[in-house]
Chains A and B, each alone.
Chain A
Amino acid sequence: MSTLKYQSQAVAKPYFIFAMLLFAGQILFGLIMGLQYVVGDFLAGAIPFNVARMVHTNLLIVWLLFGFMGAAYYLVPEEAETELHSPKLAIALFWIFAAAGTLTILGYLLVPYSTLAHITGNDILPTMGREFLEQPTITKIGIVVVCLGFLFNLGMTILKGRKTVINLVLLTGLVGLAVFFLFAFYNPTNLALDKYFWWFVVHLWVEGVWELIMGAILAYVLIKITGVDREVIEKWLYVIIAMALITGILGTGHHFYWLMTPEYWQWVGSIFSALEPLPFFAMVLYAFNMVNRRRREHPNKAATLWALGTAVMAFLGAGVWGFLHTLAPVNFYTHGSQITAAHGHMAFYGAYAMIVMTIISYAMPKIRGIGEANCNRAQVWEMWGFWLMTVAMVFITLFLTGAGVLQVWLQRLPESGEALSFMATQDKLSIFYWMREVAGVFFLLGLLTYFASFFIKEKAEA
């Protein structure tokens, strides 16, 4: 454990490990759902689709939160040049969050959702049963408590230490994450209001404050692996997050097109969300620019690959695939189709799954006491894992896009009376769903290869 600059950075380790375990769970449930798309009655009694889906998306959210927290515990002390305010609190919160998360997932799997709602008192304060916000109210309260403790710990650390741009941007992002989550507790009877404010959590997270978190983590890793002057990187970071918020806040409008809202949202949403790819494009330029200008050859080549990869894949998934169907006249036909699913998959993988794996790749060798980087052989395995997962995700996205285009063509474009029904359309898409499932299996192989890299040691000289 001697390769860490500040010993308290080690509290990131359980966060990273648990995040990766949840990631594996997320992929397994993704494969179950992918199969249910084509073999409809697969496990239908034991794990109905809605349960599998809830587990798949909730695991994603929770593992990313664990990843972000781990990243923050790792990089804040080093940036602030002081030990973490309270490593004990960080570990205690880890166990609370891990236990609550596990119980929630078990609840989804073991009892019918309505039973879970009743035993957790959803009738007292109804917050459940909305996409991505399925967590029982007590779990939601738990998330708030964990976030507050986490922010307190980081805030105290930054207060007594050096206040760098990276630390402040990261902290702003994390505070925003906690603040906007409070809208998860607002569930009015009026579905129109419910949906409108639901986006205050969902959009303002992933297309708002999470981008600050991503930008800060990427900036930190780039400083470390390139040795480029901090001033240059911090200036870029400001430009990128400025673009992210300036386009992303009013970009929320692209979710308001088909709600009970005035039509001006179709203009506001179209214009600002058409600009949303810009910060991601800037991130690609910036990552490659910094790596080209590097002043040192960092031994951790895998971390460099992850950093460049996350910029490129976030641009493709969040930027290009988002833009494909963001304009209101296009979105009218693609809204809620497989195009949305295609965009969601690549955007989440590229922007958020990969940034967490970037910081894990950089930090884990140090936390484990190996040094600046894993041995060459382990890095080769890690990079195989990177390419298998990333290429598999590209194919998952392409197959879902194919399914989406055909779906729109058959079900949405024809007039009423001539259009194919939803279920008849789904039958026509099955070839795409099968290919997506095969790509999903390759993704799992990539994940297993990546996990294996943690256990690979250099071969002894013969």
Chain B
Amino acid sequence: MSESFTKGMARNIYYGGSIFFFLIFLALTFHTTKEMPQRDHRENITEAVERGKELWEENNCIGCHSLIGEGAYFAPELANVYQRRGGEAGFKMFFNGWMKAQPLNIPGRRQMPNFHLTDQEIDDLAEFLKWTSEMDANGWPPNIEG
């Protein structure tokens, strides 16, 4: 590096640049959180959705599945599973049957554990997945397969 570019200049770019961009980041974050209610439909978060999220977390579902593309990539994406598996008409029935049939015990196939959830809990989890599916994630995922 040329001698006219001093250590002091490099230091000032470091401090000035990172503080400047961090402030922009904070401002954008502030604006984003103001805009979010129009996209996340938080008015639809019921107590069942709340309990559903707790169940989602306490059973570590993210350890195999992804949700809006984050998590593990071992099992299907679940942000749009509500639409994929029946929607308003059939999702809850499908989901209840699916959870109770685990583990499928097909030799060689990836196994989902049985979490021994009650009907009420399965319903809460379904409500959480339904609410998640209704958020606007800027058009992601690309298609119904997630």
Q: Give the interface of A toward B (CB within 8 A).
A: 33, 36-37, 39-41, 44, 48-51, 53-54, 113-114, 117-118, 122-123, 126, 128-131, 134, 165, 187, 189-193, 195-196, 231-232, 234-236, 238-239, 241-242, 245-246, 249-250, 252, 256-266, 268, 332-333, 335-338, 340-341, 411-417, 419-423, 425-426
Contacts and interface: CB of A to CB of B under 8 A. Distances in A.
Given A129-B56, A129-B59, A411-B145, A241 B35 contact: no
B63 A39 contact: no
Interface residues of B, number: 73
A113 B77 contact: no
B144 A50 contact: no
Contact of A245 (B17, B53, B70): B17
Interface string B60-94: 11111011111111111100000000000000000
B136 interface: yes
B137 interface: yes
B68 A259 contact: yes
B144 A245 contact: no
Given A49-B64, A252-B25, A422-B146, A261 B140 contact: no
26 contacts: A37-B110, A40-B109, A41-B106, A48-B113, A51-B63, A114-B115, A117-B57, A126-B57, A128-B58, A130-B57, A189-B49, A190-B40, A192-B42, A196-B32, A231-B7, A234-B7, A238-B14, A245-B14, A245-B18, A258-B141, A259-B137, A262-B31, A411-B145, A419-B144, A421-B76, A422-B145
B97 interface: no
Given A258-B138, A422-B146, A423-B76, A335 B69 contact: yes
Nearest to B117: A114
Most B CB contacts (10 A, CB to CB) among A130, A232, A336, A337 go to A336
B73 A337 contact: yes
Contacts of B140: 257-258, 332, 335
A238 B7 contact: yes
Contacts of B45: 189-190
Contacts, number: 224
B99 interface: no
B40 A268 contact: no
Contacts of B40: 190-193, 260
Contact of B142 (A122, A239, A246, A412): A412
Interface of B: 1, 5-7, 10-11, 13-14, 17-18, 21-22, 24-25, 28-29, 31-33, 35-36, 39-40, 42, 45, 49-50, 53-54, 56-64, 66-77, 103, 105-111, 113, 115, 132, 135-146
Nearest to A246: B17
Given A191-B53, A192-B135, A195-B70, 5 more contacts: A41-B108, A131-B62, A238-B10, A246-B21, A261-B39
Most A CB contacts (10 A, CB to CB) among B25, B56, B136 go to B25
A262 B32 contact: yes
Nearest to A419: B145
A113 B36 contact: no
Most B CB contacts (10 A, CB to CB) among A189, A413, A420 go to A189
Contact of A257 (B22, B56, B138): B138
B1 A235 contact: yes
Nearest to B83: A416
Contacts of B146: 422
A36 B57 contact: no
B14 A53 contact: no
Given A40-B110, A260-B40, A415 B21 contact: no
Contact of B60 (A50, A191, A264, A412): A50
The 10 closest A-B pairs by CB, nearest first: A50-B63, A129-B57, A336-B69, A40-B110, A238-B10, A258-B140, A192-B40, A245-B18, A242-B14, A260-B39
B31 to A, nearest CB: 7
A250 B137 contact: no
Contact of A53 (B74, B106, B132, B145): B74
Contact of B135 (A122, A191, A249): A191
A246 B20 CA distance: 8
B10 A130 contact: no
Contacts of A241: 14
A130 B63 CA distance: 8
